[in-house]
A and B are shown apart, each in its own frame.
Chain A
Amino acid sequence: MNSDINIDLSQFHDVFFEECSEGMEVMESGLLNLTSDSDSEVINTIFRAAHSIKGGGGTFGFSEISNFTHGMETILDKMRNGNLAVTPEVRELLLEALDCLRDMVQRSKDKAPIDQDLVREVHEKLEKFASGSAVAVEEPQTERKKKSASESTGKSDVATWNISFYPHENIFYTGNDPFRLIRELQCLGDLTVTINHERLPKFSEMDVQSCYLGWDMVLKGDVPRDLIAEIFEWVEDDCDLEISQQNEIFEQKKAEVVEAQVRTTDVAKTGRRRTDKSGLSGQESTSIRVDINKVDGLVNLVGELVITQSILSRVCDDLGLENNEKLNECLDQLERNTRDLQEQTMGIRMLPIDFAFQRLPRIVHDLSLSLGKKVELKFSGETTELDKTVLEKIGDPLMHLVRNALDHGIELPDVRVAAGKTEKGLITINAYHQGGNIIIEISDDGAGLNPEKIVNKAREKRLIEDNEELTEAQIYNLIFSPGFSTAVTVSDVSGRGVGMDVVRRNMTDLGGVVEVASKVGKGSSFTIRLPLTVAILEGQMVRVDDQIFIIPLLSIVESLQVAEEKINAIANKSELYHYRDEYISVIRLREMFNLKSDDEEEDKAGLLVVVDIGGRRLGLYVDDVIGQQQVVIKSLEQNYQQVHGIAGATVLGDGAVALIIDVLGLAKNNLDN
């Protein structure tokens, strides 16, 4: 009774591949954490992931993936059952197999042929390992048995089958129902059913939930035995069943057979009341996949709403309605709701940071092996959330920082012991929220940065003058300079053309900063500070003439009052201010944006907003500093055109447009001059 609906399995492939990736991540992190005294749940988790991939692979037509994963599963199953010890060798083998599997999945996804040689090689290793512990690897069943059907096609004679089916009294408790089985039999051919009610007890002794009836049936049709047996597959232990082929002669005897409507057998289970199918609102899976553009559209709309709300409040004030209690109440409510709405909407784009951490354990594992170093990687704050766009872009920089810490920071075990440290180094990654920012700290307890080496290298590379005197902070900052690399030889680890300068640039592009602190012999620590989202900015409002500008709060070091005479003009109109220990360039926004010069205002001492961009400091000269506000960033390029020195625009509460200063752009421009 197979309903012939044609289902195209390829529509599930995307989900399957995604699931494979997730499963492989789970396996990898599980394997990396696996030691001989691991909790059994660790192995179980790895096993389940492998098992799911195997099952999905078979179902969705990727039998090679299924076969291969079966090999891994066999080993995992043995480990799970305690028949195989957890050793570094088996762990490395499974990790190798995992890499191979990843390659297979990627190729299947790309519709490319699978690297048969590699697969065969690794698969053989797996089998060898599994059989090494004395049990043969059983090939998975990749195609369900259809052989019964094909076997039968040879003999197409109409057969007559005698089936005697006497269920045990407790059959209903298995959830099976004789009626349905008989109904299925009916679909195979011409069925005649005789009820046997000899076992029926006295009414007073009858248990409504037991089955007392038996059935003798004759089935005529071109039906192989297997097909009949398959119907009774689930109840064979719960009934007395005989299936035999009848000789033609006996056919005459059939006259005695009472044709019974199959439906009458339903009486046998009066105790069972089929519950009514109420229109349950189906509880679908708990998450849905949504196109990121839809979310961005929503974020944008909410941004507009926030602006409209603040304009509304402003208008009411202007109209002198601020004493209207009812209106105020409504406005307050609206403000709260809008703020909540905004927060929730931004939350949709937020993902926990451990997505970016996933690749790290493996890298540390492989790298520490090849470098001969011992190291432990510790995470904290993995659930800290940040914007998806930001998250996607910090993966590589994070990886680079961790590689660096391991390659340059952590010392070899004997060196560490000699220095009175533990043999095993420690790299910690900590993430947490602070204000509207996320802070990620990558620290190691290694050798720390060597200032002398850095200065020598910088001189060699002509990044600094020979006689230049630098503070410690300035020296450490040199490692972020383009073309700087302290590694004596370019190892295949960190020396891949991606330097610390790229890390810093990536962070700056995201509106964040990266800082370094280090202590010789104790280790170094890199701190990344990023805005939580790219759509909203914590801004400092400043006034220049009658214009309001926004400076990203994250880049501001401090704002200070300066006397005009402390700003020294030097050649070609550049101005410098003696700030702390250094001279910083001063940019007058008034001149920068060609605002009219108001002599009176100029005379009054203005304010200097000191900003830090990738270790470089710059003073922005403004008339006044007004207040801080969260602003929704509107792209200037999309709405107008790119303007130098402006990163975007926002609409203020009074409906006025304020420009957001592109601090990075200004700094670059200043450097070029």
Chain B
Amino acid sequence: MANILLVDDSASMREMVSFTLRGVGHQVNEAEDGVEALEFAKGASVDLVITDVNMPNMDGITLTAELRKLESYKFIPILILTTETGSVRKEQGKVAGATGWIEKPFDPDHLLGTINRVL
């Protein structure tokens, strides 16, 4: 099963997402913001990054761009959790190098269905 890095400043979201992912056997590492995630990512091997956009210290878009600069994260799928429906936000993510996005709110089933596209 996949090794997933989950980045969100909201504890309840982290709990829900990681519970869902662990439920189907994935291994989940959690980070509270971009800085923590980047730090972790540098020393680990990850199959998928799921990140929130709005976070203190470093937002998800910046995190995506930073991760793409790392050799080992060139091709790793990065999904952005977003509440924005506007295409601006998506475009921003794409430019930074995000693989795709998941619109909030979502239910656990939808989440699992969606990540199958990149795992």
A residues in contact (CB < 8 Å) with B: 1-5, 7, 9, 11-12, 15-16, 18-19, 45, 47-48, 51-52, 54-60, 66, 138, 140-144, 172-177, 180-181, 184, 209, 231, 233-234, 237, 272, 274-278, 280, 282-286
Whether A175 touches B78, Cβ cut-off 8 Å, given contacts A3-B24, A283-B40, is: yes
| In contact, A172 and B56 (Cβ under 8 angstroms) | no
Residues of B close to A237: CB separation below 8 A: 94
- B53: nearest residue on chain A (CB-CB)? A51
Whether A1 touches B113, Cβ cut-off 8 Å, given contacts A59-B106, A277-B27, is: yes
Whether A144 touches B110, Cβ cut-off 8 Å, given contacts A176-B77, A283-B40, is: yes
Main secondary structure of the interface of A (DSSP, over half): loop
| In contact, A48 and B55 (Cβ under 8 angstroms) | yes
29 contacts between A and B (CB under 8 A): A1-B113, A2-B113, A5-B20, A12-B16, A12-B19, A19-B10, A19-B12, A48-B9, A56-B10, A56-B12, A58-B83, A58-B105, A59-B13, A141-B103, A143-B105, A144-B105, A174-B97, A175-B97, A176-B100, A176-B118, A181-B117, A231-B117, A277-B2, A277-B45, A278-B45, A280-B29, A280-B45, A283-B40, A284-B29
| In contact, A284 and B109 (Cβ under 8 angstroms) | no
Q: Which of B98, B103, B104, B119 has the most CB of A within 10 A?
A: B104
Bound Cα distance A166, B28 (Å): 33
| In contact, B100 and A140 (Cβ under 8 angstroms) | no
| In contact, A234 and B100 (Cβ under 8 angstroms) | yes
| In contact, A3 and B105 (Cβ under 8 angstroms) | no
Kindly list 5 other residue pairs between chains A and B, CB separation below 8 angstroms, not including A12-B16, A51-B83, A277-B45.
A48-B54, A180-B116, A234-B101, A280-B44, A284-B30
Whether A56 touches B13, Cβ cut-off 8 Å, given contacts A5-B109, A175-B76, A280-B44, is: yes
Residues of A close to B29: CB separation below 8 A: 280, 282-284
Whether A55 touches B108, Cβ cut-off 8 Å, given contacts A5-B23, A48-B55, is: no
Question: Is B92 located at the chain interface by the 8 A CB criterion?
Answer: no
Bound Cα distance A448, B29 (Å): 56
Bound Cα distance A188, B104 (Å): 24
Bound Cα distance A142, B106 (Å): 9
| In contact, B94 and A7 (Cβ under 8 angstroms) | no
Question: Is B70 located at the chain interface by the 8 A CB criterion?
Answer: no
Residues of B close to A57: CB separation below 8 A: 105
Residues of B close to A51: CB separation below 8 A: 54, 83
- B100: nearest residue on chain A (CB-CB)? A234
Min CB gap A19→B, angstroms: 5
| In contact, B20 and A180 (Cβ under 8 angstroms) | no
Residue among B20, B47, B78 making CB contact with A277, cutoff 8 Å = B47
Whether A47 touches B54, Cβ cut-off 8 Å, given contacts A173-B75, A174-B94, A285-B14, is: yes
Bound Cα distance A179, B26 (Å): 20
| In contact, A140 and B83 (Cβ under 8 angstroms) | yes
Min CB gap A52→B, angstroms: 5
Bound Cα distance A231, B78 (Å): 16
Whether A285 touches B56, Cβ cut-off 8 Å, given contacts A5-B24, A141-B103, is: no
Residues of B close to A15: CB separation below 8 A: 11-12, 15
| In contact, B85 and A141 (Cβ under 8 angstroms) | yes
Q: Which of A15, A181, A231 has the most CB of B within 10 A?
A: A15
| In contact, B104 and A275 (Cβ under 8 angstroms) | no
Residues of A close to B9: CB separation below 8 A: 48, 52
Whether A276 touches B11, Cβ cut-off 8 Å, given contacts A5-B23, A140-B83, A283-B40, is: no
Min CB gap A70→B, angstroms: 9
Question: Is B62 located at the chain interface by the 8 A CB criterion?
Answer: no
Bound Cα distance A180, B83 (Å): 25
Q: Which of B55, B85, B105 has the most CB of A within 10 A?
A: B105
| In contact, B118 and A180 (Cβ under 8 angstroms) | yes
Whether A275 touches B75, Cβ cut-off 8 Å, given contacts A3-B112, A5-B112, A12-B16, is: no
- A19: nearest residue on chain B (CB-CB)? B12
Question: Is B35 located at the chain interface by the 8 A CB criterion?
Answer: no
| In contact, B54 and A276 (Cβ under 8 angstroms) | no
Min CB gap B108→A, angstroms: 4
Residue among A56, A174, A286 making CB contact with B32, cutoff 8 Å = A286
| In contact, B16 and A9 (Cβ under 8 angstroms) | yes
Residues of B close to A274: CB separation below 8 A: 47
Bound Cα distance A257, B74 (Å): 34
- A16: nearest residue on chain B (CB-CB)? B12
Bound Cα distance A647, B10 (Å): 44
Which 10 pairs across A and B sit closest by C-beta, in order of nearness?
A58-B105, A234-B100, A175-B99, A175-B77, A16-B12, A275-B45, A59-B105, A15-B12, A2-B113, A7-B108
Question: Is B61 located at the chain interface by the 8 A CB criterion?
Answer: no
Bound Cα distance A142, B104 (Å): 8
| In contact, A283 and B105 (Cβ under 8 angstroms) | no
Bound Cα distance A173, B67 (Å): 12
Bound Cα distance A256, B55 (Å): 53
Residues of B close to A278: CB separation below 8 A: 45
| In contact, B77 and A2 (Cβ under 8 angstroms) | no
- B3: nearest residue on chain A (CB-CB)? A277
Min CB gap B5→A, angstroms: 9
Bound Cα distance A552, B92 (Å): 63
B67-104: contact bitstring with A at CB < 8 Å (1 yes, 0 no)? 01000101111100101010000000010011111011
Residue among A18, A55, A234 making CB contact with B117, cutoff 8 Å = A234
Residues of B close to A177: CB separation below 8 A: 77, 118
Residues of A close to B85: CB separation below 8 A: 138, 141
Min CB gap A600→B, angstroms: 68
Bound Cα distance A4, B32 (Å): 28
Whether A180 touches B119, Cβ cut-off 8 Å, given contacts A51-B54, A60-B16, A173-B74, is: yes
| In contact, A172 and B100 (Cβ under 8 angstroms) | no
Whether A280 touches B83, Cβ cut-off 8 Å, given contacts A2-B112, A5-B24, is: no
Bound Cα distance A52, B99 (Å): 23
Residues of A close to B1: CB separation below 8 A: 277
- A235: nearest residue on chain B (CB-CB)? B100
Min CB gap A177→B, angstroms: 7
Min CB gap A178→B, angstroms: 11
Min CB gap B6→A, angstroms: 10
Residues of A close to B24: CB separation below 8 A: 3, 5
Residues of B close to A142: CB separation below 8 A: 105
Min CB gap B23→A, angstroms: 5
Bound Cα distance A271, B105 (Å): 36
Min CB gap A359→B, angstroms: 22
Bound Cα distance A361, B32 (Å): 27
Residues of B close to A176: CB separation below 8 A: 77, 99-100, 117-118
Residues of B close to A60: CB separation below 8 A: 12, 16
Min CB gap B96→A, angstroms: 11
Whether A173 touches B11, Cβ cut-off 8 Å, given contacts A55-B83, A275-B72, is: no
Min CB gap A84→B, angstroms: 18
Bound Cα distance A390, B48 (Å): 45
Min CB gap B54→A, angstroms: 5
| In contact, B15 and A12 (Cβ under 8 angstroms) | yes
| In contact, B83 and A54 (Cβ under 8 angstroms) | yes
Question: Is B63 located at the chain interface by the 8 A CB criterion?
Answer: no
